[in-house]
Amino acid sequence: MMAELRSLVVLWLTGCGWMDAPGTPTRGAWKAGVGHWPANSASAVQGSLDQGYAAIEVDLFLTSDRVPVLSDSPALDPDRCRHLDGTAIDEPLFLVQLSWADLAANYRCGGQADPDHPDALVVDEALLDLATFIEILEQDPALEVHLDARSEPGFSHDPEVYAAEILERWWASGVPNPLRVSTNHPATLIALEERSETADRLVDTVLIWPRTAAGIEPASVGWLHELGATTGITDPLAAALDAGADGLRLSAALADRGTVLDARDQGLLVEIEGIERSAEADAFDRWPIDTSFLSAPEPAP
């Protein structure tokens, strides 16, 4: 959408010698700060605002009645979630099969320690819906918001449904926060682009690559081949351009400077997610990227 115009501007400025690389990237709280609080939780969102972070990234799935809910998994994970009375969930319960009323009234997550982030606060609470997330945002209208429209074929709604429910609800809220929407599937990205164009409300869209599955080593070549066969993406830069994305987000574990430079040459925004340490973020600051997402970003000075 905006990528072609941005590309022309970048190329012109670079040719004039006025722009060699963007400035220091914006640092944001990945999954609302999963290293400090339970991922995508109300405690995480409020904590991020209290710490004064410049940006926040949260993941969204839809319930059976199409309510966007903050979650990085299409299902309630038995290792992270419980019934309201504290009893265990025997098997994953997919959000697409649960209504928002049922989910909010009968389940809680975050009450178990996260082995990947042992220092994170343990808080047992209901999942957060997009409407309540937006209400919390009213405390900081300048906070840059990144909504990740998570899409898992077979376990989530169609791309057009995602685009309609997320964008229309955001627009109807009237919040002034800067917005960027990302997704891990080109079809969903195209639907987001088309929805924003139809509504004549330009929204920057970002394709994420790769999206790691739980328990799988992201550096596995075999896994990458399997993921490429499943999603149809073998060249993330080409996929982002083909889908009309305005940006590309790469995993910190697999990001390489060459891909970043190529994406910048094409006029794309570039983001890095899954940064675990401040020293690693400092290293990425020397790359021409726009945003870096940390699991436990340092509090704002």
- Residue-by-residue pLDDT tens, the chain, 301 positions: 544 444 343 333 333 333 344 568 999 999 999 999 999 999 999 999 999 999 999 999 999 999 999 999 999 999 999 999 999 999 999 999 999 999 999 999 999 999 889 999 999 999 999 999 999 999 999 999 999 998 887 888 999 999 999 999 999 999 999 999 999 889 999 999 999 999 999 899 999 987 654 433 444 444 444 445 445 567 889 999 999 999 999 999 889 999 999 999 999 999 999 999 999 999 999 999 999 999 999 887 7
Cβ burial of 69 (10 Å; 0-12, 13-18, 19+) is buried
Residue written as token pair 């006029």? 267
Distance between CA atoms of residues 297 and 62, nearest Å: 28
Pick from 45, 46, 55: nearest CA to 271: 55
Measure CA of the first residue to CA of the last residue in the chain; give whole Å: 36
Question: Two tokens at 240?
Answer: 């982002």
Question: Two tokens at 6?
Answer: 């941005």
Length, in residues, of the chain: 301
Q: b vs e for 31-62, b when ≥16 Cβ sit within 10 Å of the residue's Cβ? A: bbbbbbbbbbbbbbbebbbeeebbbbbbbbbb
Helix (H, G, I), strand (E, B), or coil: what is residue 121? coil
pTM of the model: 0.87
> Which pLDDT does position 152 carry in this prediction?
82
In angstroms, the Cα distances linking 118 to 45, 114, 121 are: 19, 6, 8
> Which pLDDT does position 232 carry in this prediction?
55
> Which pLDDT does position 155 carry in this prediction?
87
> Which pLDDT does position 151 carry in this prediction?
81
Question: Two tokens at 145?
Answer: 């918001």
Pick from 111, 104, 79: nearest CA to 92: 79
Q: How many CB atoms lie within 10 A of CB 236?
A: 21
> Which pLDDT does position 22 carry in this prediction?
53
Q: Does domain 3-17+24-74+126-294 have CATH number 3.40.50.300?
A: no
- Name the phi and psi angles at 231, rounded to 5: -95, -15
- Taking a C-beta distance cutoff of 8 angstroms, is the pair 272, 293 a contact? yes
> Which pLDDT does position 20 carry in this prediction?
40
Helix (H, G, I), strand (E, B), or coil: what is residue 70? strand
Pairing of strands 144-149, 55-62: parallel
Domain boundaries, the chain: 3-17+24-74+126-294
